[in-house]
Every structure is written in C-alpha cells, then in structure tokens.
Amino acid sequence: MLIATLIAADQLQKGELSSAADRLTEAGGKISRIGDVIDGKAADIFLEGDLANLRDALPIDGEATDLVVQPSENREKKLLISDMDSTMITVECIDELAGYAGIKDQIAEITERAMLGELDFEEALRGRVALLAGLDISAIDRCLAEKVETMPGAETLVKTMAARGTKTILVSGGFTRFADPVARKLGFSVVEANILAEADGILTGKLTGAIVDAQRKAELLKQSAKSAGLSLDQCMAVGDGANDIPMIALAGMGVAYHAKPKAAQAADAAIKHNDLRALLYMQGIGSKHWVND
C-alpha cells in the first residue's frame, strides 16, 4: 500500500485533490480511498501502484501544492538528519559572514556553484574559508544576531519529531560556530559541522579537523541509524544542495527542500511550496500533535 499526501501552500481545494487523484490514476495508481482534509491544507490518498511511476507523474507547473508518494510502512520516521544552510536556516552562513569582510558577492558565487554540484565541495570550501583570513571572530556573533534566521516551520518540525521519540541530527558543511547555536534553538540532539581555525580572536583562513562533506553526511546517517537500531527505511534526510545528495538518496525518505535541481531529482520528495511543517504532514502528523515554536 502506498500513500500520496497532497499539501497545499494555503488552503487545499476540492478541485486540487480531485486533480491529484486523476493524475495518480492516469499513472497507473489504483486508489482505495481518500482521507479527510487535515488542517484545511493536507490530505492522504491511499492507493496501490508502481512507486516510481506515480512519483514521476507528480510535478505540475503552476500549482501551489506539494505531492509526496511513499510506502505506508515506516511512514513516521524515527531518525531525522538535516542540512543547515538554506534548509533549517534561511541563509548560507559563509556568504553572510563574508559580507562583514566586504566580499559577499565573491564568495556567494562560489557557494552557488558548489550547491549546484559544479565544483568540488572541499576545494570550494577551503578556498572560501581562505578568503576570510584576518576577519575578527566578533563578526560571527554579529552574523548570528543580524543575519541568521531559522526557516519557517523548522522548530515545530524538529521539536515535534523529538517529542515523539525521533533521533534528530543537524549536519552541516558549514561551521560549528553557527551550527551549535542553531541546533540548540531548534532542538536537535546531535550536531556536526566544520571547525573554523582561529588565533588571537582572528580567523586564520583554515579549517580544523576532518571536513564534513557529502560522504561524511551519508556516513553519519548510516552510523546513527545503526547505533539506534533503525533501518534506513525508518530515516528521513533533508537538504537542498548537491552536498546533500548522498544522504538524501540513502534515507528511506529523502527530502529536497526548496532545493537545487540535482538534489530535487535525487530525492524521494521535493517540497517546493510549503515550509518545513510539510514534513510532518507527509508523516501523517497534523497540527493537533505539534510542538509549536
């Protein structure tokens, strides 16, 4: 049995639900029933069919709805692992930090190409960090206070899943100086990111320790699932860029959140119109069960 969840950015209209059911039927789905509309914006369609075909039938330009198709088994996940920049927060921290050095545009261009998968991640990261050499570390605190905002729905998502016994992990190709406070605010139980080297209150332009890259994100997912006694089918991975693709592809539910094209193509579900609370709806968790931020 499969479940297709339709999630509207605003209010779910009957016509949108009917249209989604028609598309699923045309893709070979055999619908057994349609569930009630939850919170005025989400509804489940229960059906059988070929999962890949049904997912391929979903994208419709111009519709402000997201449609997620998944197996009914292990629908509610027991491990959540997520990227940080442009996923759990609204910005790319290195780009914003570069603004305090007067080189935001220069670094942001490299960041964008890395997220698109056009550049080697580690090489691009080390190159951008080198450009920050000489920046006073007080700029990090300023950046946190002035530029870093959590993504809409992030705190509700993480704290609701944690309250239901889910292991929550924030893994970032960015920096611990940002990831640690973000993790505390959102309620992640585990956090891993890169470490900026500093000396006498100044960034040296170097990194300390092993790099958190795409491979490390996937490894952390596998290790965390194994230590928790979970199968990968019980895990959800969320990200937006090329660096997130291996963990997105590995998880039982890989979610591309307002993502770059390569990440969206690799994911089981692409959320384009909703905030992060869509990840609760797709697990069958309506607002009466949420821990609100």
Crossing angle (nearest 10°) for helices 138-146 and 176-186: 40
Q: Is residue 57 classed as helix, strand or coil in its secondary structure?
A: coil
How much of the chain is in helix, strand and coil states, percent to nearest 5?
40, 25, 35
Residue at token pair 């292991």: 167
Give the integer Cα–Cα distance in Å for 34 and 42: 11
Residue tagged active-site, from 44, 83, 95, 240: 83
Which helix (H) or strand (E) segment holds residue 32: the answer is strand 30-34
214 CB burial (10 A radius; 0-12, 13-18, 19+): buried
Query: In the annotation, is 44 catalytic?
Result: no
Residue tagged active-site, from 44, 50, 56, 85: 85
Query: In the annotation, is 83 catalytic?
Result: yes
Give the integer Cα–Cα distance in Å for 4 and 47: 8
Residues belonging to the active site? 83, 85
